[in-house]
Structures are given as structure tokens and as C-alpha cells.
Amino acid sequence: MSLFQQWAFIVKEALDKSFLVAKFFCSVHVANTYLCSTALVQGPSMLPTFSLTNELVLLERISTRNGKAGTGDVVILQSPENPRKFVTKRIIGMEGDKITYIVDPKNSDSTETVIVPKGHVWVQGDNIYNSYDSWNFGPVPYGLLQGKVFWRIWPTSAFGSIGRRPETVDPALKQVLEQANQS
């Protein structure tokens, strides 16, 4: 084969391989953004559902994109105070719901009631004593939700699905909320 033909053959091979790599990256991006993705969660605000150490979870993006994420789902969202930070919290109320919450659970029992505005959700960590959530930054617009957490991959001892309710309800919190709801 002449030199030109050899060179053309090599160039064609290189283009094919790079096209294959580009296709692979594009499909990974589309799957991550529109279907399912992984995330690392850490921090004390979702005890006892998630422990303090790093945990790897699977999140699906279909329900948040279609508006199907509802009360009780654990979601990952962009923090309204820093768009580059992602936080994991549970949705407590959708738009139009009336939320009664304890203002400062470590110090007092006083409660406040708000109505979640249109297009927003109220998120809360399962560990109310150590969580920076809607009690601090208010209701978040639905557009900040990134995905719904539905399965835990690591640690393997806790492999399994994430439920729609917190595993335990603090009995002190339950009593105060019942009294507030009655009055």
C-alpha cells in the first residue's frame, strides 16, 4: 500500500475509536442526568436513616423531573444558599401543605405553622436536632431537586431500599406535634 493509503487507514481507525469513546461518554452523561446516578451522603442530619460516615446511594432522576416526588421521599437537592453544594433531606410537605414545626428543638417546645407556597417543597432532615434544612432556609423551589434516593449500595451491611418514612419518630417530638395539632 502506498504511504497515503496507510496514513488514511490510520486516521480512519483513530476517528472510529474516538467516536466510540465519545458515544460512551454521551450515554454515561444521559444515563446520569436523566435516569439514575450515584451519590455520596455524609453528615449527621439524616440519622438514623443514614449514618455519620460516607454512604453510597443510588438516586433516580425520573420522578423529580416529572413532578412525582412527594411527601416522605428522601431527595438530593441543591442548597439554596450555595448552588454548588448538594444536600440530602426528606420531603415533609408539598405545595399547599400546612407544616407545623418546632422552632428550636434543643431549647424549647414552641411551634410555628407555615403553608408551603406554590411550586415549593418543605424539606427536613430526619435528625431534627442537628439539621440545616427548611427550618433555616425556608421552603425550596421544586426546580432545585436533583433526584430521589431509593437504594443504598455501601456499606454492604445496610444494602437495601430507603423507605418513605423515618425509621423512628422521636417520642418527644411526636407528643409536642400532637398537642400543637390539637390546639
Considering beta carbons, is residue 83 or 160 the nearer one to other proteins? 83
Active site residue 63: no
C-alpha cell at 167: 425509621
From the CB of 85, what's the least distance to other proteins, in Å? 9
From the CB of 151, what's the least distance to other proteins, in Å? 25
C-alpha cell at 34: 436523566
Type of residue numbered 3: L
Beta bridge pairs of residue 36: 60
Chain center to CA of 175: 28
Could you say whether residue 67 binds other proteins (CB under 8 A)? yes
Active site residue 45: yes
CB 61 within 8 A of CB 34: yes
From the CB of 133, what's the least distance to other proteins, in Å? 15
Could you say whether residue 80 binds other proteins (CB under 8 A)? yes
48 vs 76: CA distance, rounded Å: 17
79 vs 84: CA distance, rounded Å: 8
79 vs 85: CA distance, rounded Å: 6
Contacts of other proteins in 113-172 (CB under 8 A):
118-120, 140-144
The number of helices, as runs of H, and strands, as runs of E, in the chain is: 4, 10
User: From the list 3, 4, 5, 84, which residue makes contact with other proteins (rule: CB under 8 A)?
Assistant: 84
User: From the list 37, 51, 79, 111, which residue makes contact with other proteins (rule: CB under 8 A)?
Assistant: 79
**Which of 17, 23, 27, 45 is labelled catalytic?**
45
From the CB of 48, what's the least distance to other proteins, in Å? 28
Question: How many chain residues bind other proteins (CB under 8 A)?
Answer: 24
Q: What share of the chain is helix, strand, coil (3-state, %, to 5)?
A: 35, 30, 35
Degrees to nearest 5, angle at CA 57 with 147 and 51? 115
Could you say whether residue 26 binds other proteins (CB under 8 A)? yes
**Which of 89, 131, 134, 148 is labelled catalytic?**
89
Catalytic positions: 45, 89
* Chain contacts with other proteins (rule: CB under 8 A): 22-23, 25-27, 29-30, 33, 67, 78-84, 118-120, 140-144
